[in-house]
Structure 1
Amino acid sequence: MIEARVTVTLKTGVLDPQGKAIEGALAALGFADVGAVRQGKVFDIVLEDGDPQAARARLEAMCEKLLANTVIEDYAITLPPAR
């Protein structure tokens, strides 16, 4: 069993209105030192397959087909360290 994390974020240069809204709200709450905020989403996925290479390939397929809109989003896959 492999517990993986997929982080999906907007590509650099893509307008992020939610990030801008969060940035403004943080400033209004007194966190004036925040320069920029980009928002994203995180998926924690448990795979039954214990092979890390096969797991990475399956996770990449999931991202390409459903989890990320690869036109405007990037994704990063984090697997536990090899034992």
Structure 2
Amino acid sequence: MKIVVTVMLKDGVLDPQGRAIGHALGNLGFAGLNEVRAGKVIELDLAETDPARARQFGEDMARKLLANTVIESFRVDLPTP
């Protein structure tokens, strides 16, 4: 079963990568950007077949390794086939 973990910086945490992307987009003529935030997406293919257990595995992995929960939040999604 595939799961997708999305990790983003929490609101209020400075995002220099997002600012750099926003600045570069502005230089390329893309006007009207209020804010750009950058994060990461991790796709995992698990042997688990139970959706609730797969989600729990994803949350456990995010808390232990994939996200720094002091400054980042995360979301675990189970994409529909």
Aligned to 1:8: 7
Percent sequence identity over aligned pairs: 54
CA distance in 1, matches of 2:33, 2:6: 22
Work out whether 1:56 is the aligned partner of 2:76.
no
Paired letter, 1:48:
A
Between the aligned partners of 1:59 and 1:76, the Cα distance in structure 2 is: 9
Gaps of 5+ in 1: none
Q: How many residues align?
A: 81
TM-score by length of 2: 0.95
1:74 matched to 2:73:
yes
Q: Which amino acid aligns with 2:38?
A: Q
| 1:37 alignment partner in structure 2 | 36
Matches of 1:32 and 1:54, distance apart in 2 = 44
Structure 2, unmatched stretches of 5+, are none
**Secondary structure class of the residue paired with 1:70:** coil
| Whole-Å separation in 1 of the counterparts to 2:9 and 2:58 | 18
2:42 aligned partner, one-letter code: F
Q: Which runs of 4+ in 1 moved over 6 A?
A: none
